[in-house]
Amino acid sequence: MKIYAAKDYNDLSRKAANIISAQILLKPNAVLGLATGSTPVGAYKQLIKWHEQGDLDFSRILSVNLDEYKGLSGEHDQSYRYFMNHNLFDHVNIHKENTNVPGGLSEDPEAECRRYDQVIKDLGGIDLQLLGIGGNGHIGFNEPCEVFEKGTHVVTLTEETRQSNARFFQSIDEVPTHALTMGIGSIMGAKKILLLASGAGKAQAVYDSCFGPVTPHVPASVLQLHSDVVVIADQDALALVKEKAGLFVESWEGMIYDN
Ligand code: F6R
């Protein structure tokens, strides 16, 4: 695991976009695992800018998103399909038919989960998986629990996650109680993983995930077992790493950890 300290959110976003863009240049038909939420928005904006300047071609890119709320259609403005269209896909030359998000309205969610696993398999796995992290250490919607779930599955969202995502809805009552999420096995199957964390609310999760025990109680801690993980975090998200991890670094900017 490599950890990079970003100066601030803009720096984090540019660094993340650089890594994603390098992946696209190295493999123009790469399979990108994509995330929603506030954290990757800056990186997506930067990628759009480079595409508009003619520097980045998405025409052969394939994508699989991590998750979707159960019960929301792709037209709902809080669905993750809608988010991806508005924050990235509508602004670059990716072919929509090459983009995948779990179906939130499926009448048989279990069958939808099996279908989604097959989609990932048929694509040959994920080249680069982008992740945000929940304040409770969740990745995708893999919430803290007793086991690491391997494949795509339906989850009951924790109260903490629903509260945290309520900022996007009119009220907490509108936040769905369930979601479909890619499993830890699929995430860990990605060739390369890029985890982004911004803000003080992520400090505990970042410290526990990078330096604590590997446990499904902190789902992102499993990333310690992956051979190619890059974490980019801003200064606030690194607060506890600075305080407790015992890293002796010359500067809290750039690479601060490589094990
Ligand atoms: C979103 C996702 C979630 C978010 C996480 C952080 O697709 O999978 O794990 O990455 O909840 O969300 P933000 O970035 O809004 O803090």
Q: What is the sign of the dihedral through the CA atoms of 212, 66, 16 and 227?
A: positive
Model confidence band, residue 68 (pLDDT cutoffs 50, 70, 90): very high
Mean pLDDT for 11-35 is 98
pTM of the model: 0.97
Q: Looking at residue 224, what is its pLDDT?
A: 98
Q: Which two tokens stand for residue 142?
A: 């893999």
**Percentage of the chain surpassing pLDDT 70?**
100
* From 67, 112, 149, 208, active-site residue: 67
C-beta separation of 234 from 7 below 8 A: yes
Q: Looking at residue 114, what is its pLDDT?
A: 98
Q: Which residues contact 87 (CB under 8 A, 6 or more apart)?
A: 36, 41, 44, 45
- CATH class belonging to 9-191: alpha beta
- 178 assigned to active site: no
Q: What does the pLDDT look like over 176-209, one tens digit per residue?
A: 999 999 999 999 999 999 999 999 999 999 999 9
Pocket test of ligand 1: the residue of 9, 12, 36 to mutate, having most ligand atoms within 8 Å of its CB, is 36
Q: What does the pLDDT look like over 39-53, one tens digit per residue?
A: 999 999 999 999 999
Q: What does the pLDDT look like over 93-150, one tens digit per residue?
A: 999 999 999 999 999 999 999 999 999 999 999 999 999 999 999 999 999 999 999 9
- 136 assigned to active site: yes
Per-domain boundaries in the chain: 9-191
Cα–Cα dist 54/237, whole Å: 33
Q: Looking at residue 248, what is its pLDDT?
A: 92
Q: Looking at residue 43, what is its pLDDT?
A: 98
Whether 137 is in the pocket of ligand 1, judged by its Cβ within 6 Å, is no
The per-residue pLDDT of the chain, averaged, comes to 97
Mean pLDDT for 78-90 is 98
CA distances from 69 to 44, 105, 135, 240 (A): 21, 9, 18, 31
Q: Which two tokens stand for residue 56?
A: 């980045």
Cα–Cα dist 199/189, whole Å: 28
Whether 38 is in the pocket of ligand 1, judged by its Cβ within 6 Å, is yes
Q: Closest Cα partner for 247 from 207, 193, 201? A: 207
Q: Looking at residue 239, what is its pLDDT?
A: 98
Q: What is the sign of the dihedral through the CA atoms of 148, 153, 157 and 160?
A: positive
Q: Looking at residue 33, what is its pLDDT?
A: 98
Whether 101 is in the pocket of ligand 1, judged by its Cβ within 6 Å, is no
Cα–Cα dist 111/103, whole Å: 10
* From 65, 136, 142, 165, active-site residue: 136
Q: Looking at residue 58, what is its pLDDT?
A: 98
Q: What does the pLDDT look like over 214-225, one tens digit per residue?
A: 999 999 999 999
C-beta separation of 148 from 224 below 8 A: no
Q: Looking at residue 54, what is its pLDDT?
A: 98
Cα–Cα dist 229/215, whole Å: 17
The per-residue DSSP string of 28-44 comes to TT-EEEE--SSTTHHHH
Q: Looking at residue 15, what is its pLDDT?
A: 98
Model confidence band, residue 24 (pLDDT cutoffs 50, 70, 90): very high
